[in-house]
Amino acid sequence: MIRTRGLTKDFATGRKTKVHAVRGISLDIEPGELVAVLGPNGAGKTTTMRMLTTLIQPTAGTAVVAGHDVVEEPQRVRRRIGYVGQGNGAAHTQRVGDELRVQGRIYGLDRREAKRRADELLEALDLAELGERKVTDLSGGQQRRLDVAIGLVHAPELLFLDEPSTGLDPQNRANLWSHIARMRAELGMTIVLTTHYLDEADSMAERVVVVDHGEVIADDSPDQLKAKLAGDRLLATGDGPALAAIAAELPGARDLAVRPGGIELRVSDGPAALPELITAAAGSVRTAEVRRPTLDDVFLALTGRNLRDA
């Protein structure tokens, strides 16, 4: 569904200076995948999304999206994708139902089909009762659902979501993702998203691509990334130095530290390492626990900084 090779974007900041926003990204995304693209602010995520959606042209490299080259066939790409950007995409003075029907007409649907599709999406995204309201009268969560409806009005094969839930409260975030998941299951769409909420990427995406300094630095499933890059944390209380000597021999042990009254380390498989440590320590372990890693741990391990850092 998406194939890029050496995708690059430079921005001129002066007569002789450039910012290398994206530095040769090569990426393959298969039909039906839900892929989360993560990275600190300024890492190149949105620039990459804008190139893939034909909003800006690459400086170098190639990108084929939904079977069409983004530079040579941008109109064909646009017909086959949906895009939900960071800002509100609806006309503020329009009524909700009218806006969806107009968007359908823009995509080439006849009047009857545009109305049918608008009514279908209003119902599917819990907006049916709001069809006569102006866009400016909607809450933040309702506006984001309308943005998703606009992105889906022409039933695209591929949907791009650029930070779709930023600024929403937890209830509205959960509600939005419930709708997106259901629509994806019904339509079989491929989805590429960026988000600052790592719990969303962890629970929703089958695959996570981490971008930093305009380059892909990791690409795998959330579970594999957590296992390979972060590892499980194993904590045990007891005789610290004695436990440390035993723990150092555990498979995949690293980052071992002796704490007051115990130890802490990382292992590749915590549930397997925990009974091994307890058995080898011959009853000298007072308490022990395994803490599974999160994508936050992965992110910090890869970039050394918080996702929200500039």
- Tens digit of each residue's pLDDT (9 = 90 or more) over 22-80: 999 999 999 999 999 999 888 899 999 999 999 999 999 999 999 999 999 999 999 99
231 in Cβ contact with 268 (< 8 Å): yes
Lowest mean pLDDT among 18-22, 234-238, 281-285: 281-285
| Range 61-72 burial, b when 16+ CB lie within 10 A, else e | bebbbbebebee
Domain 232-292 sits in CATH at 3.30.70
Quick one: pLDDT band at residue 175, thresholds 50, 70, 90? confident
Which residue in 14, 91, 83, 3 sits closest to 49, CA to CA?
A: 83
How distant is the alpha carbon of residue 302 from its chain centre? 16
Start-to-end C-alpha separation, the chain: 31
Tokens of 196: 């600052």
State the span(s) of the chain assigned CATH 3.30.70: 232-292
Q: Specify the pLDDT at position 172.
A: 83
Q: Specify the pLDDT at position 297.
A: 85
Token pair 């800006």 in the structure block, residue: 56
- % pLDDT > 90, the chain: 62
State the span(s) of the chain assigned CATH 3.40.50.300: 2-225
Quick one: pLDDT band at residue 306, thresholds 50, 70, 90? low
- What's the whole-number mean pLDDT along residues 234-242? 92
Tokens of 21: 């926003």
* 2-225 maps to CATH 3.20.20.10: no
Query: HSE on the CB side for 184, CA within 13 Å?
Result: 21
Quick one: pLDDT band at residue 85, thresholds 50, 70, 90? confident
What angle do the packed helices 96-106 and 140-152 form, to 10 degrees?
A: 20
- What's the whole-number mean pLDDT along residues 92-114? 92
Q: What is the pLDDT of residues 179-232, one digit of tens each?
A: 888 888 888 899 999 988 888 899 999 999 999 999 999 999 998 898 787 788
How distant is the alpha carbon of residue 168 from its chain centre? 16
- 158: exposed, middle or buried (Cβ count in 10 Å: 0-12, 13-18, 19+): buried
Q: Specify the pLDDT at position 310.
A: 43
Q: Specify the pLDDT at position 228.
A: 81
